[in-house]
Amino acid sequence: MVVGNLRNAQVVIDRQAIKYNVREEVKRLKQGTELFAVVKADGYGHGMVPVAQAAQAAGATGFCVAILDEALGLREAHFTAPILVLGITRPELAEIAASQHISLTVGSKDWLVAAKNAMTKQSHIEPLAVHLGIDSGMGRIGFTQVVDFLAAVAFIKQNPEYFIFEGIFTHFATADEQDTTYFQQQVKKFNAYVAQLDQRPRYVHVSNSATSLWHDACNGNMVRFGVAIYGLNPSGTAISELPYPLQPALSLTSEIVFCKQIHAGDSVSYGATYTAEADEYIGTVPMGYADGWLRRLQGFHVLVDGHPCEIVGRICMDQFMIRLPKPYDVGTKVTLIGEDQGAEITLQEVAAYSDTIHYELACILTNRLPRKYIN
């Protein structure tokens, strides 16, 4: 996608906020516990490489990504720290991961057998580090039977020239909820797997951001710190109490490119879904759903000169309109997410209006919006 560098619409990322969020969590970790920064999905829309740089400077000792391509992108950016791919990678790509010292998630013995066969046919040089995923209740990937898990562990031990048993982990489905019943069930299931091991691998980890913030007794010796890096509460609004205040790293700004007066009876945008009841001033902002500013945000508001200004009419692919309290000059700043003269719009507020979660909104801000880094 072409980046809109010549248009005044951008995502602004505060590096110091990222560093602060990581440092505060590192302070809370028990001695010997590492923090891996989760930088998948282009750093949750914040920019994978700049986020990784800031997180590492603040104390992160490794990284988690979703797909092998993201891990290779970190290696190409000269990161040498451990990297774990959290999703399932095709077994025929095992040698590529091994050659770049990238650890892969494994959820079945069959995967290990296929990976060994692939590496045997290729110019196998060094063993692949693997983390065995346990499906303790997420229902996504991982072992669901202890007997199958133990068979995979045995296979790894029988093939040390191909595999290193580096880690065991699970992922919680409800760590960000007040009710901990299901969470505790998952903890119990995971612990039953770990108890079967004669010797633990280097990493035993269960904690995403929510778990580390609210259930840190479960941390193991590695934390997969994700959405909280970016200053976003993992629970949205379900749990407001935090061990330290998170600092949001992302803001979204643009400008007024056109301002006009309309009159009673005049309509705005596709479908004529908004009709003025009196004379009013309308400003046009050069962003739309092609940038990730969702069409369903009609009726929400942005900030102009510290004033909340309602989005009127349907949001277009590349533009949307707002009702202004008075005429403003072309070039006047518009804040879609962030602070402006004491007023603020949070990503959580936008998510609540959109009937979604802030994770999704951060990730869908498209690459047509340039990322600009401050501090």
* pTM across the whole model: 0.95
Among 40, 44, 116, 328, the one annotated catalytic: 40
DSSP string, 344-374: EE-HHHHHHHHTS-HHHHHHHS-TTSPEEEE
Q: Which two tokens stand for residue 345?
A: 């719009």
DSSP string, 62-104: EEEESSHHHHHHHHHTT--S-EEEEEE--GGGHHHHHHTTEEE
CA distance 320 to 312: 8
- b/e sequence 336-375, b meaning 16+ C-beta within 10 Å: bbbebeeeebbbbebbebbeebbbebbbebbbbbebebee
Q: Give the pLDDT of residue 114.
A: 97
- Dmax (CA) for the chain in angstroms is 79
Domain residue extents for the chain: 15-230, 250-345
d(CA 324, CA 311): 10
How far, in Å, CA of 120 to CA of 367, rounded? 40
Annotated active-site residue 270? The verdict is yes
For residues 42 and 259, give the distance between their C-alpha atoms in angstroms, rounded to a whole number. Answer: 35
Respond yes or no: is residue 44 known to be catalytic: no
* Token pair for 219: 């941390």
pLDDT score of 125: 75
Find the catalytic residue in 121, 188, 260, 270.
270
Tell me the residue type at 13.
I
DSSP state of 227: G
Pairing of strands 320-324, 280-285: antiparallel
What is the helix (H) or strand (E) element at residue 213, kind and residue range? helix 209-214
Amino acid code (one letter) for 131: H
Tokens representing residue 132 in the block: 């065995």
What is the structure's pLDDT at 361?
97
At 122 the pLDDT is 78
Residue 57 CB contacts under 8 Å (≥ 6 apart), including other chains? 19
Q: What is residue 297's DSSP assignment?
A: G
224: β partners: 36
CB < 8 Å & 24+ apart, contacts of 190-199: 190/134, 190/136, 192/146, 193/134, 193/136, 193/143, 193/146, 193/149, 193/168, 194/168, 196/146, 196/149, 196/150, 197/153, 197/168
CA atoms within 13 A on the CB side of 138: 17
Q: How many CA atoms lie within 13 A of 292 on its CB side?
A: 24
Q: Find where tokens 């046919």 sit.
A: 121
**How many residues in total does the chain contain?**
375
Interatomic CA distance for residues 193 and 176, integer angstroms: 23
At 124 the pLDDT is 65
pLDDT at 103: 98
Domain with residues 15-230, CATH architecture: Alpha-Beta Barrel (3.20)
Q: Say what the pLDDT of residue 123 is.
A: 72
CATH architecture of 250-345: Beta Barrel (2.40)
Other beta carbons within 10 Å of 32 = 7
> Tokens for 239?
């749990």
How far is Cα 179 from Cα 184, in angstroms, rounded to an integer? 10
> Running along the chain, 375 residues long, what does each successive block of 10 average in pLDDT?
96 98 97 97 98 98 98 98 98 96 98 95 85 97 97 98 97 95 97 96 97 92 97 94 97 98 98 97 98 98 98 98 98 98 97 96 97 97
